[in-house]
Protein backbone atom coordinates (compact mmCIF):
# COMPACT_ATOMS: atom_id res chain seq x y z
CA UNK A 1 0.00 0.00 0.00
CA UNK A 2 1.00 3.62 -0.49
CA UNK A 3 0.19 5.39 2.76
CA UNK A 4 -0.34 9.12 3.07
CA UNK A 5 -0.18 9.97 6.76
CA UNK A 6 -1.02 13.29 8.41
CA UNK A 7 1.07 13.64 11.57
CA UNK A 8 -0.31 15.94 14.26
CA UNK A 9 2.14 15.94 17.18
CA UNK A 10 0.35 18.66 19.17
CA UNK A 11 1.48 19.75 22.63
CA UNK A 12 3.33 18.61 25.74
CA UNK A 13 4.76 15.14 25.30
CA UNK A 14 2.94 14.91 21.94
CA UNK A 15 5.97 15.61 19.71
CA UNK A 16 8.15 13.11 21.61
CA UNK A 17 5.74 10.20 21.34
CA UNK A 18 4.76 11.21 17.82
CA UNK A 19 8.37 10.77 16.67
CA UNK A 20 8.38 7.21 18.01
CA UNK A 21 5.06 6.42 16.32
CA UNK A 22 6.41 7.70 13.01
CA UNK A 23 9.61 5.66 13.32
CA UNK A 24 7.60 2.52 14.01
CA UNK A 25 5.28 3.25 11.09
CA UNK A 26 8.31 3.63 8.80
CA UNK A 27 9.97 0.46 10.08
CA UNK A 28 6.84 -1.60 9.49
CA UNK A 29 6.33 -0.11 6.02
CA UNK A 30 9.90 -0.93 5.13
CA UNK A 31 9.63 -4.49 6.39
CA UNK A 32 6.32 -5.21 4.64
CA UNK A 33 7.01 -3.28 1.44
CA UNK A 34 4.62 -0.35 1.81
CA UNK A 35 5.36 3.21 0.79
CA UNK A 36 4.64 5.95 3.26
CA UNK A 37 4.58 9.70 2.94
CA UNK A 38 4.12 12.03 5.93
CA UNK A 39 2.76 15.52 6.14
CA UNK A 40 3.04 17.35 9.47
CA UNK A 41 0.35 19.75 10.63
CA UNK A 42 -0.37 22.01 13.61
CA UNK A 43 -2.99 21.33 16.25
CA UNK A 44 -3.72 22.49 19.80
CA UNK A 45 -1.82 25.13 21.78
CA UNK A 46 1.02 25.09 19.30
CA UNK A 47 -1.45 25.92 16.53
CA UNK A 48 -3.05 28.69 18.62
CA UNK A 49 0.33 30.28 19.22
CA UNK A 50 1.23 30.26 15.56
CA UNK A 51 -2.11 30.85 13.86
CA UNK A 52 -4.68 31.76 16.51
CA UNK A 53 -6.71 28.66 15.59
CA UNK A 54 -6.35 25.27 17.39
CA UNK A 55 -7.33 23.41 14.20
CA UNK A 56 -6.28 25.58 11.27
CA UNK A 57 -7.82 25.15 7.84
CA UNK A 58 -4.49 23.96 6.50
CA UNK A 59 -4.41 21.15 9.08
CA UNK A 60 -7.91 20.15 8.03
CA UNK A 61 -6.79 20.02 4.39
CA UNK A 62 -3.79 17.87 5.34
CA UNK A 63 -6.15 15.47 7.17
CA UNK A 64 -8.39 15.24 4.11
CA UNK A 65 -5.37 14.53 1.89
CA UNK A 66 -4.25 11.69 4.16
CA UNK A 67 -5.37 8.05 4.37
CA UNK A 68 -5.00 8.25 8.14
CA UNK A 69 -4.10 10.76 10.83
CA UNK A 70 -1.52 9.94 13.48
CA UNK A 71 -2.47 12.21 16.33
CA UNK A 72 -0.62 12.58 19.62
CA UNK A 73 -2.02 14.95 22.26
CA UNK A 74 -3.18 18.49 22.86
CA UNK A 75 -3.48 20.63 25.99
CA UNK A 76 -1.44 23.25 27.78
CA UNK A 77 -1.63 24.46 31.39
CA UNK A 78 -1.57 28.09 30.22
CA UNK A 79 -5.19 27.63 29.22
CA UNK A 80 -6.41 25.27 31.96
CA UNK A 81 -6.86 27.74 34.77
CA UNK A 82 -7.93 30.62 32.63
CA UNK A 83 -11.72 30.48 32.37
CA UNK A 84 -11.62 33.63 30.24
CA UNK A 85 -9.58 32.03 27.46
CA UNK A 86 -11.57 32.42 24.25
CA UNK A 87 -9.90 29.57 22.47
CA UNK A 88 -8.47 26.38 23.95
CA UNK A 89 -6.18 23.65 22.60
CA UNK A 90 -8.83 20.98 23.23
CA UNK A 91 -11.12 22.73 20.76
CA UNK A 92 -8.64 21.68 18.08
CA UNK A 93 -9.19 18.02 18.86
CA UNK A 94 -12.96 18.47 19.02
CA UNK A 95 -12.96 20.40 15.72
CA UNK A 96 -10.95 17.64 14.09
CA UNK A 97 -13.37 14.95 15.29
CA UNK A 98 -16.39 16.96 14.16
CA UNK A 99 -15.04 18.05 10.78
CA UNK A 100 -13.87 14.53 9.93
CA UNK A 101 -17.17 13.06 11.14
CA UNK A 102 -15.37 10.69 13.54
CA UNK A 103 -18.37 9.48 15.49
CA UNK A 104 -16.92 6.16 16.64
CA UNK A 105 -14.04 6.07 19.08
CA UNK A 106 -12.70 2.58 19.69
CA UNK A 107 -10.79 2.20 22.94
CA UNK A 108 -9.59 -1.34 23.72
CA UNK A 109 -8.67 -2.08 27.32
CA UNK A 110 -6.29 -5.00 27.69
CA UNK A 111 -3.92 -6.20 30.35
CA UNK A 112 -0.32 -7.16 29.71
CA UNK A 113 0.69 -10.30 31.57
CA UNK A 114 4.08 -9.00 32.63
CA UNK A 115 2.55 -5.80 34.02
CA UNK A 116 -0.31 -7.32 35.96
CA UNK A 117 1.34 -6.50 39.28
CA UNK A 118 1.59 -2.81 38.24
CA UNK A 119 -2.15 -2.39 38.28
CA UNK A 120 -3.70 -0.78 41.35
CA UNK A 121 -6.22 -3.64 41.20
CA UNK A 122 -5.55 -7.16 42.40
CA UNK A 123 -4.22 -9.74 39.97
CA UNK A 124 -7.18 -12.12 40.50
CA UNK A 125 -9.55 -9.35 39.48
CA UNK A 126 -7.90 -8.11 36.32
CA UNK A 127 -6.17 -11.18 34.91
CA UNK A 128 -7.60 -11.77 31.44
CA UNK A 129 -9.63 -8.55 31.39
CA UNK A 130 -10.12 -7.62 27.75
CA UNK A 131 -12.85 -5.30 26.61
CA UNK A 132 -13.47 -2.56 24.09
CA UNK A 133 -15.19 0.68 24.85
CA UNK A 134 -16.99 2.20 21.88
CA UNK A 135 -17.42 5.85 22.69
CA UNK A 136 -19.74 8.07 20.64
CA UNK A 137 -17.50 10.98 19.70
CA UNK A 138 -19.33 13.74 17.86
CA UNK A 139 -22.52 14.26 19.86
CA UNK A 140 -23.79 14.78 23.36
CA UNK A 141 -22.67 17.45 25.79
CA UNK A 142 -19.39 18.04 24.00
CA UNK A 143 -21.18 19.52 21.02
CA UNK A 144 -24.67 20.43 22.30
CA UNK A 145 -25.85 23.99 22.80
CA UNK A 146 -23.91 25.81 25.50
CA UNK A 147 -24.64 28.87 27.55
CA UNK A 148 -22.08 30.53 29.74
CA UNK A 149 -22.54 33.53 31.98
CA UNK A 150 -21.17 34.43 35.39
CA UNK A 151 -24.38 33.55 37.21
CA UNK A 152 -25.56 30.61 35.11
CA UNK A 153 -24.20 28.11 32.62
CA UNK A 154 -25.39 24.97 30.90
CA UNK A 155 -24.45 22.30 28.38
CA UNK A 156 -26.97 20.30 26.40
CA UNK A 157 -26.77 16.53 26.08
CA UNK A 158 -28.57 16.09 22.77
CA UNK A 159 -28.67 12.91 20.68
CA UNK A 160 -30.68 12.02 17.62
CA UNK A 161 -31.96 8.54 16.85
CA UNK A 162 -29.69 8.46 13.83
CA UNK A 163 -26.57 9.24 15.87
CA UNK A 164 -27.44 6.50 18.33
CA UNK A 165 -28.23 3.93 15.65
CA UNK A 166 -24.97 4.38 13.78
CA UNK A 167 -22.78 3.99 16.85
CA UNK A 168 -24.80 0.98 17.99
CA UNK A 169 -24.21 -0.65 14.59
CA UNK A 170 -20.45 -0.19 15.06
CA UNK A 171 -20.71 -1.68 18.56
CA UNK A 172 -22.72 -4.68 17.37
CA UNK A 173 -20.17 -5.31 14.63
CA UNK A 174 -17.41 -5.40 17.25
CA UNK A 175 -19.41 -7.62 19.58
CA UNK A 176 -20.08 -10.00 16.68
CA UNK A 177 -16.34 -10.43 16.10
CA UNK A 178 -15.62 -10.84 19.82
CA UNK A 179 -17.35 -12.61 22.69
CA UNK A 180 -20.83 -11.52 21.56
CA UNK A 181 -21.71 -9.50 24.61
CA UNK A 182 -22.71 -5.85 24.33
CA UNK A 183 -23.31 -3.60 27.34
CA UNK A 184 -25.16 -0.37 26.61
CA UNK A 185 -24.19 2.15 29.29
CA UNK A 186 -26.52 5.05 30.06
CA UNK A 187 -28.30 6.91 32.84
CA UNK A 188 -31.82 6.17 31.67
CA UNK A 189 -33.25 6.46 35.19
CA UNK A 190 -32.53 10.20 35.06
CA UNK A 191 -31.68 11.50 31.59
CA UNK A 192 -34.07 11.86 28.64
CA UNK A 193 -31.17 11.45 26.20
CA UNK A 194 -30.28 8.15 27.87
CA UNK A 195 -33.86 6.94 27.59
CA UNK A 196 -33.65 7.47 23.84
CA UNK A 197 -30.36 5.52 23.77
CA UNK A 198 -31.98 2.66 25.60
CA UNK A 199 -35.13 2.70 23.47
CA UNK A 200 -33.13 2.63 20.23
CA UNK A 201 -30.88 -0.14 21.57
CA UNK A 202 -33.87 -2.21 22.65
CA UNK A 203 -35.36 -1.84 19.19
CA UNK A 204 -32.12 -2.87 17.50
CA UNK A 205 -31.18 -5.78 19.75
CA UNK A 206 -33.52 -8.34 18.07
CA UNK A 207 -31.63 -7.78 14.79
CA UNK A 208 -28.59 -9.32 16.50
CA UNK A 209 -29.96 -12.54 18.01
CA UNK A 210 -26.53 -14.10 18.52
CA UNK A 211 -25.39 -11.19 20.69
CA UNK A 212 -26.36 -10.74 24.32
CA UNK A 213 -27.28 -7.13 24.95
CA UNK A 214 -27.48 -5.78 28.44
CA UNK A 215 -28.10 -2.33 29.81
CA UNK A 216 -26.28 -0.74 32.70
CA UNK A 217 -26.40 2.62 34.40
CA UNK A 218 -23.12 4.48 34.14
CA UNK A 219 -22.57 4.70 37.91
CA UNK A 220 -22.98 0.94 38.17
CA UNK A 221 -20.72 0.41 35.15
CA UNK A 222 -17.99 2.51 36.77
CA UNK A 223 -18.16 0.26 39.82
CA UNK A 224 -18.35 -2.98 37.87
CA UNK A 225 -15.31 -2.00 35.82
CA UNK A 226 -13.01 -2.11 38.81
CA UNK A 227 -14.83 -4.84 40.69
CA UNK A 228 -15.16 -7.31 37.84
CA UNK A 229 -13.65 -5.98 34.59
CA UNK A 230 -13.85 -9.41 32.95
CA UNK A 231 -17.61 -9.01 32.88
CA UNK A 232 -17.27 -6.66 29.91
CA UNK A 233 -16.72 -7.52 26.28
CA UNK A 234 -17.97 -4.49 24.32
CA UNK A 235 -19.28 -1.35 25.99
CA UNK A 236 -21.08 1.30 23.98
CA UNK A 237 -21.88 4.67 25.42
CA UNK A 238 -22.29 8.39 24.81
CA UNK A 239 -19.44 10.86 24.49
CA UNK A 240 -19.13 12.09 28.09
CA UNK A 241 -19.64 8.74 29.81
CA UNK A 242 -17.16 7.17 27.39
CA UNK A 243 -14.56 9.80 28.19
CA UNK A 244 -14.83 9.13 31.91
CA UNK A 245 -15.10 5.35 31.75
CA UNK A 246 -12.08 4.98 29.47
CA UNK A 247 -9.82 6.94 31.81
CA UNK A 248 -10.98 4.57 34.51
CA UNK A 249 -10.45 1.57 32.26
CA UNK A 250 -6.94 2.68 31.33
CA UNK A 251 -5.78 2.24 34.91
CA UNK A 252 -6.60 -1.47 34.80
CA UNK A 253 -3.65 -2.17 32.51
CA UNK A 254 -1.22 -0.54 34.91
CA UNK A 255 -0.48 2.63 32.96
CA UNK A 256 -2.43 5.12 30.91
CA UNK A 257 0.59 5.26 28.65
CA UNK A 258 -0.23 1.88 27.13
CA UNK A 259 -3.63 2.28 25.56
CA UNK A 260 -4.29 3.38 21.98
CA UNK A 261 -7.51 4.33 20.26
CA UNK A 262 -8.99 4.68 16.81
CA UNK A 263 -11.58 7.23 15.78
CA UNK A 264 -13.51 6.41 12.66
CA UNK A 265 -16.56 7.63 10.83
CA UNK A 266 -17.08 9.56 7.65
CA UNK A 267 -13.70 10.94 6.58
CA UNK A 268 -10.05 10.22 7.39
CA UNK A 269 -9.68 8.00 10.48
CA UNK A 270 -7.53 9.20 13.37
CA UNK A 271 -5.27 7.03 15.54
CA UNK A 272 -4.21 8.41 18.90
CA UNK A 273 -3.28 7.41 22.44
CA UNK A 274 -6.08 7.81 24.95
CA UNK A 275 -3.87 9.79 27.32
CA UNK A 276 -3.32 13.53 27.25
CA UNK A 277 -0.37 15.88 26.72
CA UNK A 278 1.20 15.53 30.20
CA UNK A 279 2.77 19.01 30.09
CA UNK A 280 4.88 18.42 33.21
CA UNK A 281 6.84 15.74 31.38
CA UNK A 282 7.41 17.74 28.21
CA UNK A 283 10.96 17.45 26.91
CA UNK A 284 12.02 15.05 29.68
CA UNK A 285 12.12 11.90 27.58
CA UNK A 286 10.06 9.97 30.15
CA UNK A 287 6.65 9.62 28.48
CA UNK A 288 5.65 6.12 27.49
CA UNK A 289 5.48 5.93 23.67
CA UNK A 290 3.61 2.60 23.68
CA UNK A 291 0.06 4.00 23.49
CA UNK A 292 1.15 5.94 20.41
CA UNK A 293 2.97 2.95 18.94
CA UNK A 294 -0.05 0.69 19.47
CA UNK A 295 -2.19 3.31 17.77
CA UNK A 296 0.00 2.69 14.71
CA UNK A 297 -0.90 -1.02 15.08
CA UNK A 298 -4.57 -0.04 15.09
CA UNK A 299 -3.92 2.05 11.98
CA UNK A 300 -2.60 -0.96 10.07
CA UNK A 301 -5.41 -3.17 11.36
CA UNK A 302 -7.94 -0.60 10.18
CA UNK A 303 -6.63 -1.22 6.66
CA UNK A 304 -6.90 -4.99 7.27
CA UNK A 305 -3.11 -5.31 7.47
CA UNK A 306 -3.21 -7.67 10.42
CA UNK A 307 0.32 -9.01 10.06
CA UNK A 308 1.71 -5.50 10.22
CA UNK A 309 -0.35 -4.83 13.33
CA UNK A 310 0.75 -8.11 14.87
CA UNK A 311 4.43 -7.29 14.22
CA UNK A 312 4.03 -4.11 16.28
CA UNK A 313 2.15 -5.85 19.08
CA UNK A 314 4.78 -8.56 19.23
CA UNK A 315 7.57 -5.98 19.44
CA UNK A 316 5.76 -4.08 22.20
CA UNK A 317 5.24 -7.25 24.21
CA UNK A 318 8.88 -8.18 23.75
CA UNK A 319 9.96 -4.74 25.01
CA UNK A 320 7.74 -5.00 28.08
CA UNK A 321 8.97 -8.54 28.77
CA UNK A 322 12.59 -7.45 28.43
CA UNK A 323 12.02 -4.67 30.93
CA UNK A 324 12.48 -2.04 28.27
CA UNK A 325 10.02 0.26 29.96
CA UNK A 326 9.59 3.93 30.74
CA UNK A 327 9.89 4.89 34.42
CA UNK A 328 6.19 4.70 35.37
CA UNK A 329 6.14 0.94 34.76
CA UNK A 330 9.79 0.15 35.39
CA UNK A 331 10.58 -2.36 38.15
CA UNK A 332 12.11 -0.73 41.27
CA UNK A 333 15.75 0.15 40.56
CA UNK A 334 15.36 -1.14 37.00
CA UNK A 335 17.38 0.35 34.13
CA UNK A 336 16.36 3.71 32.67
CA UNK A 337 14.66 3.67 29.32
CA UNK A 338 13.22 6.92 28.04
CA UNK A 339 10.68 7.64 25.34
CA UNK A 340 13.37 7.51 22.65
CA UNK A 341 15.08 4.38 23.96
CA UNK A 342 11.83 2.41 24.19
CA UNK A 343 10.86 3.56 20.70
CA UNK A 344 14.27 2.71 19.24
CA UNK A 345 14.24 -0.74 20.85
CA UNK A 346 10.83 -1.50 19.36
CA UNK A 347 11.95 -0.25 15.93
CA UNK A 348 15.03 -2.48 16.10
CA UNK A 349 12.92 -5.46 17.06
CA UNK A 350 10.59 -4.87 14.11
CA UNK A 351 13.54 -4.60 11.72
CA UNK A 352 15.15 -7.78 12.97
CA UNK A 353 12.20 -10.15 13.24
C1 LIG B 1 -9.90 12.30 25.31
C2 LIG B 1 -9.57 13.63 25.91
C3 LIG B 1 -10.39 14.71 25.22
C4 LIG B 1 -11.86 14.37 25.41
C5 LIG B 1 -10.09 16.14 25.66
C6 LIG B 1 -8.61 16.47 25.53
C7 LIG B 1 -10.93 17.16 24.94
O8 LIG B 1 -9.78 13.64 27.27
O9 LIG B 1 -9.64 12.10 24.10
O10 LIG B 1 -10.43 11.44 26.02
O11 LIG B 1 -12.44 14.73 26.45
O12 LIG B 1 -12.44 13.76 24.52
MN1 LIG C 1 -10.43 11.74 28.09
Measured at the alpha carbon of residue 260, what is the angle toward residues 258 and 265, in degrees to the nearest 5? 170
Second CATH level (architecture) for the domain 1-100+268-353: 3-Layer(aba) Sandwich (3.40)
Q: Are 329 and 290 in contact (CB under 8 A)?
A: no
Q: Identify residues whose C-beta is under 5 A from ligand 2, the ion.
A: 243
**Rounded Cα–Cα distance for residues 345 and 23 (Å):** 11
Tens place of pLDDT per residue across the chain (353 aa): 999 999 999 999 999 999 999 999 999 999 999 999 999 999 999 999 999 999 999 999 999 999 999 999 999 999 888 878 889 999 999 999 999 999 999 999 999 988 988 889 999 999 999 999 999 999 999 999 999 999 999 999 999 999 999 999 999 999 999 999 999 999 999 999 999 999 999 999 999 999 999 999 999 999 999 999 999 999 999 999 999 999 999 989 888 899 999 999 999 999 999 999 999 999 999 999 999 999 999 999 999 999 999 999 999 999 999 999 999 999 888 899 999 999 999 999 999 99
Residue 151 confidence (pLDDT): 97
243 is in an annotated binding site: yes
Residue 254 confidence (pLDDT): 84
Beta bridge partners of 262: 106, 271
ipTM entry: 0.99
**Rounded Cα–Cα distance for residues 173 and 132 (Å):** 12
Query: Residue 262: which of 106, 138, 134 has the closest Cα?
Result: 106
Residue 82 confidence (pLDDT): 80
23 is in an annotated binding site: no
Tell me the catalytic residues: 142, 187, 219, 243, 247
**Rounded Cα–Cα distance for residues 231 and 113 (Å):** 18
User: What is the distance in A from the centroid of ligand 1 to the CA of 243?
Assistant: 7
**Rounded Cα–Cα distance for residues 202 and 148 (Å):** 36
For the chain, what percentages of helix, strand and coil (3-state, to nearest 5) are there?
Answer: 50, 20, 30
Q: Are 211 and 161 in contact (CB under 8 A)?
A: no
Q: Are 79 and 85 in contact (CB under 8 A)?
A: yes
Q: Are 107 and 333 in contact (CB under 8 A)?
A: no
> Does ligand 1 lie within 6 Å of residue 90's CB atom?
yes
User: What is the distance in A from the centroid of ligand 1 to the CA of 314?
Assistant: 28
Output the CA–CA distances (angstroms, integers) from residue 335 to 283, 316, 323, 331, in the order listed.
20, 17, 8, 8
User: What is the distance in A from the centroid of ligand 2 to the CA of 241?
Assistant: 10
Q: Report the 10 Å Cβ neighbour count for 306.
A: 11
97 is in an annotated binding site: yes
Query: Residue 107: which of 246, 224, 275, 313 has the closest Cα?
Result: 246
Q: Are 11 and 89 in contact (CB under 8 A)?
A: yes
**Rounded Cα–Cα distance for residues 300 and 220 (Å):** 35
State how beta strands 212-217 and 234-237 pair.
unpaired
276 Cβ contact partners less than 8 Å away, ≥ 6 residues apart = 12, 73, 74, 75
Q: What is the DSSP string of 189-228?
A: TT-HHHHHHHHHHHHHGGG-TTSEEEEEEHHHHHHHHHH-
| Domain 104-256 grouped into CATH 3.40.50.300 | no
The angle, 0 to 180 degrees and rounded to 10, between the axes of the packed helices 306-321 and 14-32 is: 120
> Does ligand 1 lie within 6 Å of residue 43's CB atom?
no
The residue count for the chain: 353
> Does ligand 1 lie within 6 Å of residue 243's CB atom?
yes
Phi, psi for 101 (deg, rounded to 5): 65, 40
User: pTM for the full model?
Assistant: 0.95
Residue 84 confidence (pLDDT): 80
Query: Residue 317: which of 285, 283, 294 has the closest Cα?
Result: 294
Instruction: State which ligand 1 atom lies nearest to the alpha carbon of 261.
Output: 9
Give the number of whichever ligand sits closest to the CA of residue 247. Answer: 2
Query: Residue 104: which of 297, 305, 273, 238 has the closest Cα?
Result: 238
Residue 173 confidence (pLDDT): 97
Listed in order, the ranges of the chain carrying CATH 3.40.718.10 are 1-100+268-353, 104-256
Beta bridge partners of 107: 133
Instruction: State which ligand 1 atom lies nearest to the alpha carbon of 75.
Output: 6
Amino acid sequence: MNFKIAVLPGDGIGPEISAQGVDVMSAVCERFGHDVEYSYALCGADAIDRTGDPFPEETFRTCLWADAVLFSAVGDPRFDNDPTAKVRPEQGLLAMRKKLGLFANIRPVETFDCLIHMSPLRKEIIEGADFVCIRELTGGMYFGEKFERDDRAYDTNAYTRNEIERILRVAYAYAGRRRKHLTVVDKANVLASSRLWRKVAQEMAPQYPDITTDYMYVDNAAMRMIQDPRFFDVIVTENTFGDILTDEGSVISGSMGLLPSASTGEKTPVFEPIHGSWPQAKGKNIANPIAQILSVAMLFEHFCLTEEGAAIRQAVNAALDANVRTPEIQIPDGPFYGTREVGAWIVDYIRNH
